[in-house]
Chains A and B, each alone.
Chain A
Amino acid sequence: MNYIHFATFDIQAESGAQPIFEIFGWPVNDTIFIGWIISLGLVLFSIVVTRNLALRPGRLQNAIELLLEYIIDTTEGLLPGGGKKFLPFIGTIALYIGISNLVGVLPLAKNPTADLNTTVAFGLTVFLVSQGYGMQQKGLWRYIKGFAEPVFFLLPINIIGELAKPISHSFRLFGNIFGGSVIIALAAFFVPGFIPVPFMAWFDIFIGLVQALIFTMLAIAYISVASE
């Protein structure tokens, strides 16, 4: 029992969120602090990229335009007419979650998405945006009536189904990234050295990019489902 206790304690310190300092009595976890650094870096990066836009784009502008066009085209496929409108929202989610998932490769950096605070914030934002857009597109009466379809007594089941979406959306990202970091910490705890490196390549780079893609695509799909 003592051995298991010791091992789990070490793993939790390795991959769980730890409060590092307090602001006015509110504890700030290290994952949230890294999230702030990533947001700041993204803002500075956007300022640098858009400072001198040229009609004939340079290398950096070309790459960013390719990414943005991909996001617009993907959104346009699921949500006709909403590509440009949802570009700031969907693009922010894709960039922030993509970089948050990849940042675990760096030493001493924990994934901000391995903390439920981050993923639930994103899940709730997507939930509110999808419900608001659905209300705007359908009108208030048709939006409320949409919950009572096809028959009236399915109303509670429809509401529970709608409320389960943000939970599964945020827990999927959290579970994948946190589970990956626990497995990396286990490998590093039992076999230090080069053994954890392929695990890091798989869980941080491949699973991280796939989960960022899935989170973004599901956000688009939820908005599209709520508005039709």
Chain B
Amino acid sequence: MVEFSPQVIETIIKAAALIGAGLALIAGIGAGVGQGYAAGKAVESVARQPEARGIITITMLIGQAVAESTGIYALVFALILLFFIIL
């Protein structure tokens, strides 16, 4: 059984929190792919029906906001790890 001093344990916890914050942001891949797919489909629709541009843009923004929420959860967790665990 190895005994660590409190300072070493604190440093390990901080390092783990930083690594965890970095790993949490991998979730941004999903949000990015989803948003890009929605934007691409919206461009296709506008090219097909230019007169429906307004309603397509609003629908695209709402869909992107819903697709974004997993990325936002990851961001909030990363910020919690950075600001509330480290300090």
Contact = CB atoms under 8 A, between A and B. Distances in A.
Interface of A: 1, 4-5, 8-9, 11-12, 16, 168, 171-172, 174-176, 178-179, 182, 210-211, 213-214, 217-218, 221
B76 A218 contact: no
A214 B65 contact: yes
B62 A182 contact: no
Specify the main secondary structure of chain B where it touches its partner: helix
7 contacts: A5-B87, A8-B83, A168-B73, A175-B79, A178-B79, A182-B79, A213-B61
Given A214-B65, A221-B62, A4 B18 contact: yes
A12 to B, nearest CB: 5
A224 to B, nearest CB: 12
A211 B72 CA distance: 13
Interface in B49-83: 58, 61-62, 65-66, 68-69, 72-73, 75-76, 79, 82-83
A171 B69 contact: yes
Contact of A179 (B14, B69, B75): B75
Interface centre among B18, B76, B87 (most CB of A within 10 A): B76
Given A8-B86, A9-B87, A218-B65, A171 B76 contact: yes
Interface of B: 11, 14, 18, 58, 61-62, 65-66, 68-69, 72-73, 75-76, 79, 82-83, 86-87
Nearest to A221: B62
A169 to B, nearest CB: 9
